[in-house]
């Protein structure tokens, strides 16, 4: 059957694999997912298939099959639900054989063919491995778009603070890209390549830890500042620096994803159990890194929330500085929300508005602001007088003050 295809889902993405590239394309087009799909390099599985497949001829043919991968979104998740994929012996991976277009069949326990090959744990683990790579590559592309959009130059940020941190980032980049270049030329991550690149992850972790410390420092400054003038300065500083350190964190995440692609590529040649252990370890590490980032950004937003609350509470007496705190807080929250969406970090979006003063209070606040520069000593008295006059005028029905 040239139209038979296999659906495989690992919870993050969906792979569509078939003998005929046209059948794979038709299936994805009908589902409205063709444009979002990306090619899977099944050729890389040839050594893994040879290691574990019982049907040698079909195993060799499998490596030349067509494969596409699509990230699990609401649309692609509906497709998985519609076809009711079955659990497999490979942890977290579900699959199902689909027959001729539009005709969904039960799992085909055929003696030969795509169905029998996909029941082999070594093959299914290999497919799950390259799906993990595809998800990482998708994340890498999204982070690159994010960094281009926010226009924060990571090297420029690091150069301002610590040459050691800059060297760590430069070193990790160089090691990973050299290993990736050699992988393309040699077809796999060799022992020599791995010996050169294996320290890169530690360097990335050091830079990430440094960036998180900078964000915590901004949060602590906000927490320790009580006067509105000081909060305005701290909030504006945070507005600038938080954007910069989020960019550093984004590139750290990108480089770690590039490193993980190399790790999986090296593990694909290992037995299924070793490859599965590698996938589980990378997934756990990714969750830990996301949790660390979420805790840090969540704490920052909580401190900014308190700062905005304090500024709003003192808006009457600080009509000039208090709005600066609120506006800077809004920009910080928007930047953090954008960053959270990029990495898939869940959390409530934050947004703050300047509280509305009554008309009389607004007049008094404006008087205070105008007189602070020229006559700070009489600012309070002037405001109270104007407010009292305005209140009296309103009570008498004399019209606008």
Task: Give SS3 for 5.
Answer: strand
- Identify which of 57, 60, 54, 29 has the alpha carbon closest to the alpha carbon of residue 42: 60
> Minimal CA–CA distance to 51: which of 217, 273, 310, 354?
273
Cα of first residue to Cα of last residue in the chain, in angstroms, is 86
26 lies in the same domain as 106: yes
- Of 6-10, 91-95, 259-263, 282-286, the one with minimum mean pLDDT is 91-95
Same domain, 84 and 172: no
Neighbour tally for 130: CB within 10 Å? 23
Mean pLDDT, rounded, for 222-247: 91
Cα–Cα dist 19/58, whole Å: 11
pTM of the model: 0.80
Query: Is 82 found in the same domain as 200?
Result: no
Same domain (yes/no): 35, 119: yes
User: How far apart, in whole angstroms, are the C-alpha atoms of residue 47 and residue 58?
Assistant: 14
For residues 240 and 328, give the distance between their C-alpha atoms in angstroms, rounded to a whole number.
9
pLDDT at position 241 is: 94
Q: Give residue 103's Cα distance to chain centre.
A: 37
State the virtual CA torsion across 171, 176, 179, 185 in degrees, nearest 10: -120
pLDDT tens digits for range 48-68: 666 554 545 555 666 667 889
| Domain limits for position 47 | 5-124
Give me the percent of the chain exceeding a pLDDT of 70. Answer: 71
Do residue 25 and residue 79 come from a single domain?
A: yes
Alpha-carbon distance of 357 to 359, in angstroms, equals 6
- pLDDT, averaged across the chain: 79
357-401 confidence digits (pLDDT tens) = 445 444 444 544 555 545 554 444 444 444 444 444 444 444 433
pLDDT band of residue 94 (cuts 50, 70, 90) is: low
- Tens digits of per-residue pLDDT, 189-216? 999 999 999 999 999 999 999 999 999 9
Is the domain of 173 the same as that of 67? no
Residues composing the chain? 401
State the Cα–Cα distance between residues 133 and 123, nearest whole angstrom.
15
Per the structure, the count of domains in the chain is 3
301 has a pLDDT exceeding 90: yes
In terms of domains, do 159 and 296 share one? yes
In a domain, 354, yes or no: no
3-class SS of residue 189: coil
User: In the prediction, which pLDDT does 240 show?
Assistant: 92
From 124, 142, 170, give the residue that closes a domain: 124
Q: Which two tokens stand for residue 195?
A: 């010996």
Same-domain check for residues 57 and 183 = no
Neighbours of 394 (CB within 10 A): 14
């Amino acid at each position: 059957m040239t139209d038979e295809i296999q659906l495989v889902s690992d919870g993050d993405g969906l792979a569509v694999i078939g003998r005929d590239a046209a059948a794979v394309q038709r299936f994805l087009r009908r589902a409205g997912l063709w444009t979002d799909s990306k090619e899977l390099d099944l050729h890389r599985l040839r050594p893994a298939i040879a290691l574990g497949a019982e049907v040698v001829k079909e195993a060799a043919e499998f490596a030349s099959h067509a494969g596409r991968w699509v990230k699990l979104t609401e649309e692609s998740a509906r497709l998985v639900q519609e076809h009711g994929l079955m659990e497999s012996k490979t942890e977290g991976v579900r699959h199902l054989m689909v027959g001729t277009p539009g005709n969904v069949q039960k799992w085909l326990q055929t003696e030969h063919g795509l169905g029998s090959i996909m029941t082999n744990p070594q093959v299914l683990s290999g497919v799950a491995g390259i799906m993990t790579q595809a998800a990482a590559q998708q994340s890498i592309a999204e982070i690159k778009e994010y960094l281009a959009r926010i226009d924060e130059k990571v090297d420029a940020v690091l150069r301002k603070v610590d040459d050691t941190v800059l060297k760590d980032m430069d070193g990790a980049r160089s090691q990973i890209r050299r290993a990736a270049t050699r992988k393309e030329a040699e077809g796999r991550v060799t022992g020599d390549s791995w010996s050169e690149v294996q320290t890169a992850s530690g360097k990335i972790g050091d830079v990430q830890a440094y960036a998180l410390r900078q964000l915590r420092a901004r949060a602590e400054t906000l927490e320790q500042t009580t006067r509105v003038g000081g909060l305005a300065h701290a909030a504006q500083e945070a507005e600038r620096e938080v954007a910069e350190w989020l960019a550093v964190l984004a590139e750290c995440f990108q480089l770690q994803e590039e490193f993980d692609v190399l790790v999986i590529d090296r593990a694909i040649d290992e037995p299924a159990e070793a490859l599965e252990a590698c996938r589980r370890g990378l997934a756990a590490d990714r969750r830990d890194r996301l949790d660390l980032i979420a805790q840090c950004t969540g704490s920052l937003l909580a401190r900014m929330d308190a700062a905005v609350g304090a500024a709003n509470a003192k808006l009457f007496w600080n009509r000039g500085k208090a709005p600066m705190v609120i506006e800077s807080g809004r920009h910080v929250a928007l930047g953090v929300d954008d960053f959270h969406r990029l990495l898939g970090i869940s959390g409530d979006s934050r947004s703050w508005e300047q509280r509305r003063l009554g008309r009389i209070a607004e007049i008094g606040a404006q008087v205070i602001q105008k007189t602070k520069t020229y006559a700070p000593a009489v600012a309070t008295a002037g405001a109270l007088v104007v407010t009292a006059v305005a209140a009296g005028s309103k009570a008498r029905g004399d019209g606008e003050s």
